[in-house]
Amino acid sequence: MTGREMHDLVTRLYPLCRSITGDGVRRTLEIIQESIPLDVHEVPTGTQVLDWTVPKEWNIRDAFVRDPTGAKVIDFAESNLHVVGYSVPVSATMTLDELRPHLHTLPGQPDLIPYRTSYYAETWGFCLRHETLSALGPGPYEVRIDSTLADGHLTYGEHVVPGESADEVLVSCHVCHPSLANDNLAGVAVAVELARRIARANPRYTYRFLFAPGTIGAITWLARNRERAGRIRAGLVLACAGDGGPLTYKRSRRGNAEIDRAVEQVLRSSGRPHTIIGFSPYGYDERQFCSPGFDLGVGSLTRTPYGAYPEYHTSADDPGFVSPEAMADTLETCWEVLGVLERDRRYLNLSPYGEPQLGRRGLYGSLGGRSDTRDDQMAMLWVLNLSDGDHSVLDIAERSGLPFDLVADAAHALADAGLLKER
């Protein structure tokens, strides 16, 4: 039922008009709080955050364009994508020629409404289907945007699952897009369920889940958490988590951080169709966490990447575009990645002079029930040979070409037999 529950959350959040600030973000966090507790932070307009400044808060109540007959040809109540995000208030009557510079369509996808924003330049506009625009007469039109752009706050939420260690694993997703189910709500839903699952696992690491508006939210968090950022051992940015495409992992700036190696190990061993791409300073909030001053080991996990599917940033990215099965697969992939991080250890061989006799210790076949008995034995030999205190279980899995879980199980069995100690 997990996939269905995540899809239900996407469907419930979908109608809310989110932006980088405002009541849509607050309401989104309130709904998330029904599943997991959040620490909600309000950062005032004008606050300096690194090289940026927290902007004015935007809220909108209604917007429309009414033709000479009184019919609403564009109606915010139909879709919140109809209004350019952060549009300033407007109350005017104008001809189509006067209105036209403020109208945005997709001529190549004439039946879809595009998503557009103007966060940092005070302007206004409407988005509509190109087929609607083509049918408009000369006017005049009543144009109304009932919005406010005023001093307020930027809002973000955090959920922390304490672990045995103060070292942290970060899971981040953005909550700034309006009605877009894949880009961003599927990532939000996967993060919520992942947080619920890890809380039941008594984890080794502390897990920090960040629900923040894109770019400015991550920058604000980093500005307010410089010291804490140094404790982040690994991290994932989740987005585009519910479409039917294969998984795509974008490496961190480092390229070989523990998270990069863990994700690649899981994807390679699982047999899932997938793509691995290198780091680029364009994309989601991994580019903030991987900025050179922080250079955190944070990668990005999506299914089809941003901009690579025709529904991207359009009204076609609705709850019908994402599936419970795809979100469940993304969740399981994340869970397996966290399992690698949790189980990765360095061991020291306590019998390093020659190969210890495994048979008399009952270690051959000790991992019982496996069909890969030879691989089981090879995993033990690899672990014994490379457990010099410098090689981790992940190092051994990569070098041997064996699945991580098999190597981790072998290390655990050898430690139980007194042949290894954790370093």
200: left (phi over 0), alpha (psi -120 to 50) or beta: alpha
Phi/psi at 54 (5° precision): -60, 125
Altogether, the residues listed in the chain come to a count of: 423
Go through 153-175 and write b for each residue having 16 or more CB atoms within 10 A of its CB, e for each that does not. bbbbbbbbbebeeeebbbbbbbb
How many other CB atoms sit within 10 Å of the CB of residue 273? 9
Asked whether 163 and 204 are in contact (CB, 8 A), the reply is: yes
Joined tokens for residue 56:
């004015």
Give 388's contacts (C-beta < 8 A, 6+ positions apart): 348, 349, 352
DSSP 8-state secondary structure symbol assigned to residue 183: I
Asked whether 22 and 57 are in contact (CB, 8 A), the reply is: yes
CA neighbours within 13 Å on the CB side: how many for 29?
29
β partners of residue 170:
208, 235
Binding residue numbers for Zn(2+)? 177, 183, 313
Binding residue numbers? 177, 183, 313
